[in-house]
Amino acid sequence: MDAGSTTTERVSIVLHSGDMDKLYSALIIGNGALAMGMEASIFFTFWGLQRLRKDDSWAMPPAGLDKGPLSRMNMLGLGKRMMQQRMDNQNVASLERLMADYRELGGRVLACDMTMDIMGVRKEDLREELIDDFAGVGTFIQEARDSAVSLFI
Amino acid sequence: MDAGSTTTERVSIVLHSGDMDKLYSALIIGNGALAMGMEASIFFTFWGLQRLRKDDSWAMPPAGLDKGPLSRMNMLGLGKRMMQQRMDNQNVASLERLMADYRELGGRVLACDMTMDIMGVRKEDLREELIDDFAGVGTFIQEARDSAVSLFI
Amino acid sequence: MDAGSTTTERVSIVLHSGDMDKLYSALIIGNGALAMGMEASIFFTFWGLQRLRKDDSWAMPPAGLDKGPLSRMNMLGLGKRMMQQRMDNQNVASLERLMADYRELGGRVLACDMTMDIMGVRKEDLREELIDDFAGVGTFIQEARDSAVSLFI
């Protein structure tokens, strides 16, 4: 980096997975980057985009968490409810809390428009208040090529 | 980057997963990079390499798609057939089409030779007309260290 | 890179997955980087961290491998035992061997302290002789931003 460089370093993440633990990692990394003065963008694609649906479980108040579809986490031998309990006991921030922090710190949320076409997801199905932009792969690549760190999660 | 730099920026992808949706993402990102004037390389390893087998399902004409082994996509509650139908309805390019475009645009396909040894895959088991080179981890690292974007999918 | 640059290039890997094949890939890439004179760091988080537990299967001598919990590899239609056999037949290094080489070559192993809190894992549950440091997301980002290659596995 030149001493004269004025660009802020950025972390760009493609969140392809819809697994709760992967969403968790994406937000933790995003928030960590923001806390260190970097910029952060998360591109919600494919199964990841499903986590932004209005009817998705983690978006509900805690009481509604059990109503949602089963996460793949269950298949790994650790139930969602147990995981949630552990996180509560350890004062680990909820996904909802992490997302609020992420956005407050200036983190960007991009929804993949191609995924919306394939999956038949309409804008009104999504929590638009969380989304900064609807974008395609070109936007991701443009950002990633200028990022210090790019991850596919 | 120096103003005098003459290297074209590159995207390097390790495709470890054999999931149809991950292959899809790898090719979409690869094609996007190529369309923006970048170079692209995809290293097919482990389960990803299986997608290059002659007897693999997505390599067949559409009619043969149902004959193939079940993708993990099925376990996520969205059937392969339903996915295919959605993609057809939305005029989304098939994997076969995306791969042809990728190669026509100059994208490189590398088959991991160590995976071939471990999995007992012979060259003649693979669709060699799609493969630019058989390579090891050293080749990937050499390319990735010079790439603007490196992803593990 | 300036000709005057004195920093050694680095590969930084987040190992989020606990799948044997993903651990394998992480170590192969790490060892490859080290062999090429680069530095390497692997951050063991979430399911990946479980692989560092004393009671985890791959940490046992070969005879004990079958006693361990089933890997997700089994769900992909390829049994752990069959995989192990294939690897043995091909003289592929075991995970244990790869890890020993990795550390001998100077590769760093970092255990995610936040995962330990969430999962209720104590230091004494882990094979501390394999771990260079217990660290959080800030450490990962600090390393990744200075790395030539960053991967989320």
3-state secondary structure chain A: CCCCCCCCCEEEEEECCCCHHHHHHHHHHHHHHHHCCCEEEEEECHHHHHCCECCCHHHCCHHHHHHCCCCHHHHHCCCHHHHHHHHHHCCCCCHHHHHHHHHHCCCEEEEEHHHHHHHCCCHHHECHHHCCEEECHHHHHHHHHCCCEEEEC
Q: What is the mean pLDDT of residues C27-40?
A: 97
Q: What is the pLDDT of residues B11-21, one digit of tens each?
A: 999 999 988 88
pTM of the entire predicted model: 0.85
Band the pLDDT of A119: cuts 50, 70, 90.
Answer: confident
| Dihedral angle, C-alpha B27, B151, B122, B80, nearest 10 ° | -50
Determine contact, residues A111/A134, Cβ cutoff 8 Å.
yes
A124 Cβ neighbours under 8 A, 6+ residues apart: none
Average pLDDT for residues A2-18, to the nearest whole number?
A: 78
- When pLDDT is averaged across residues C19-44 and rounded to a whole number, the result is 95
Other C-beta atoms closer than 10 Å to the C-beta of A55 total: 12
- Of the ranges B94-103, B129-138, C48-57, C73-82, which is most confident? B129-138
Task: Answer yes or no: are the C-beta atoms of B118 and C92 closer than 8 Å.
Answer: yes
Q: For the purposes of burial, counting CB atoms within 10 Å of the CB of A4, is it exposed (0-12), middle (13-18) or buried (19 or more)? A: exposed
Matching residue, tokens 């192969």: C28
Closest alpha carbon to C151 in A35, B108, B94, B145: B145
Nearest CA in chain B to C1: B1
What pLDDT score does A125 carry?
A: 92
Confidence (pLDDT) at B78 = 54
pLDDT of residue A2: 44
Most A CBs within 10 A among B29, B43, B88, B145, hence the mutation to make, goes to B29
CA dist A10 and A30 (Å) reads 10
> In the prediction, which pLDDT does C76 show?
46
Four-residue CA torsion sign, A27, A28, A32, A33: negative
Could you tell me the CA-to-CA distances from B109 to A66, B92, B142, C139 in Å, in that order? 43, 22, 15, 34
Q: Looking at chain C, which residue has its C-alpha nearest residue B11?
A: C149
pLDDT, tens digit, 9 for 90 and up, residues B73-109: 444 445 556 666 666 666 667 888 899 999 999 999 9
Mutate to test the interface with A, among B34, B149, B151 (most CBs of A within 10 A): B149
* HEC letters along C95-147: HHHHHHHHHHCCCEEEEEHHHHHHHCCCHHHECHHHCCEEECHHHHHHHHHCC
pLDDT at A5: 47
Token reading at B105: 């645009």
> What residue of C is the nearest CA neighbor of B5?
C1
- pLDDT score recorded for residue B40: 98
Q: CB distance B14–C77 less than 8 Å?
A: no
Question: By the 8 A CB rule, do A25 and A53 touch?
Answer: no
Residue B130 phi, psi (nearest 5): -95, -10
Judging by beta carbons within 10 Å of its beta carbon (0-12, 13-18, 19+), is residue A13 exposed, middle or buried? buried
Residues of chain B with Cβ-Cβ distance to A138 below 8 Å are 32, 35-36
In chain C, the residue whose alpha carbon lies closest to the alpha carbon of A92 is: C118
Per-residue pLDDT, C21: 86
Contact A137 B32 (CB under 8 A): yes
For the stretch B17-53, pLDDT in tens is 988 889 999 999 999 999 999 999 999 999 899 889 8
pLDDT, tens digit, 9 for 90 and up, residues C85-124: 666 666 667 888 899 999 999 999 999 999 998 888 999 9
CA distance B36 to chain A (A): 8
Better-predicted residue by pLDDT, C124 or B5: C124
**Residues of chain C with a CB closer than 8 angstroms to some CB in chain A:** 14, 16, 18, 45-47, 69, 72, 75, 114, 117-120, 136-138, 140-142, 144-145, 147, 150-152
Please provide the average confidence, as pLDDT, over all residues in chain B: 81
Residue A142 CB partners (closer than 8 Å, separation 6+) = B36
Query: Number of CB pairs < 8 Å for A and C?
Result: 62
The pLDDT of residue C118: 84
**pLDDT tens string A66-97:** 333 444 444 444 555 666 666 666 666 788 88
How far is A153 from chain B, CA to nearest CA, in Å?
A: 8
- Chain C residues whose CB is inside 8 A of the A77 CB are 69
Test the B interface: residue of C76, C83, C86, C153 with most B CBs within 10 Å:
C76
Asked if residues B37 and B109 have their Cβ atoms less than 8 Å apart, the reply is no
Query: Strands A108-112 and C108-112: what pairing?
Result: unpaired
Chain A residues touching chain C at CB-CB below 8 Å: 9, 11, 21-22, 25, 28-29, 31-33, 35-36, 38, 75-77, 83, 86-87, 90, 92, 148-153
pLDDT at B80: 57
What pLDDT, on a 0 to 100 scale, did the predictor assign at position A94? 80
Q: What span, in angstroms and rounded, lies between the C-alpha atoms of A142 and C9?
A: 24
Element spanning B109, H or E: strand B108-112
